[in-house]
Structure 1
């Protein structure tokens, strides 16, 4: 048996109503994925309009891509850095005081390589309060990052990150405990 991508279908997956997906595509491209520094409040309002649940104090920089805002919940006082990609084919929950650094990616979808038709394999992502996802890091489908966990620069989270723990590498492994000194 071999992989046969001509047989690929999205299965039961539905992004949302076609009109909403189409309109969001243009808003995402011209406002969020733009190099123009649109006001944070305007971006938050647009996300809410498209069904995202957004807390107060969201900082959302330029060149950000969000696949489906209606599958997104963000707590209060979060930072989303330049070129972050929230590829949320499935739900993404981001707690309060979470930082997604430049180029970070939240990836809720993959493919099942054990099947010849390469079907979607989706999983929700949860980032609890105080989590920091470092620059150019990836959080894979189905991952939970517990309270105040850190995923360091250019690392890949392939399993749950424990609370108050720092992880690094590909795949990410525990490096040490996270402590505040002041």
Structure 2
């Protein structure tokens, strides 16, 4: 019954102009009241490529270029995360993203010295987070990275390269630290 209600609310929200939907999202992002969590889910579902069931989006989560983001089932994105889908993001099933994490899908170049760096070309690169991944708090995932299934990224890690399935990644920059099955 609840799924059906959420599906209808999401369908209704798709009829709103994008700017109005984004405003509604911002107005409902300051607390974790049950109804606000449900409304955030519906708003995000109306704007992103796809969203699965049982998705939690915490308070003060910033979502940029949301139309390029796909979210699977049983995903939790905790408070104060920053996620920019400019280059595309695919989040698999059973993924937990702890608070204060950033996922960036683009980077600036600096080769044209005649203009400031911030006006140089921007390069996009998709981020893929496969199924059954736990991302610790304050992790930074940079563009063009794949996190393999059943993996863990330790708190405070800066991810600049792919993480193979079944590994713990940690450090700045991230390195493969330990195979999870060895624990």
User: Does TM, normalized by the shorter one, top 0.5?
Assistant: yes
Mean CA deviation greater in 154-163 or 65-74: 65-74
2:139 aligned residue? 137
Do 1:53 and 1:73's aligned partners in 2 also have CA atoms closer than 8 Å? Answer: yes
Do 1:28 and 1:65's aligned partners in 2 also have CA atoms closer than 8 Å? Answer: no
> CA–CA distance in 2 between the matches of 1:36 and 1:57?
15
Structure 1: runs of 5 or more not aligned: 1-18
Per-residue CA distance 1:13-63 (angstroms, 9 max, x = gap): xxxxxx63x33542342223x235354332221112124411001111111
2:31 aligned residue? 35
1:50 aligned residue? 47
Do 1:164 and 1:177's aligned partners in 2 also have CA atoms closer than 8 Å? Answer: yes
Mean CA deviation greater in 134-143 or 105-114: 105-114
Change (3 A) 1:36 1:57: closer
Structure 1 residue 94 corresponds to structure 2 residue 102: no
Matches for 1:149-168 after TM superposition, within 5 Å: 149-168=151-170
Q: TM-score, normalised by structure 1?
A: 0.81
Over aligned residue pairs, what C-alpha RMSD do you find?
A: 1.9
* More helix, by proportion: 2
Q: What is the aligned length?
A: 161
Greater relative CO (CA pairs within 8 A, separation 6+): 1
Change (3 A) 1:39 1:121: same
Structure 1 residue 84 corresponds to structure 2 residue 81: yes
Following TM superposition, the consecutive aligned residue runs of length 4 or more in structure 1 with deviations greater than 6 angstroms are: none
Structure 2: runs of 5 or more not aligned: 1-16
Please report how far the alpha carbon of residue 180 of structure 1 lies from its aligned counterpart in structure 2 after TM superposition: 9.0
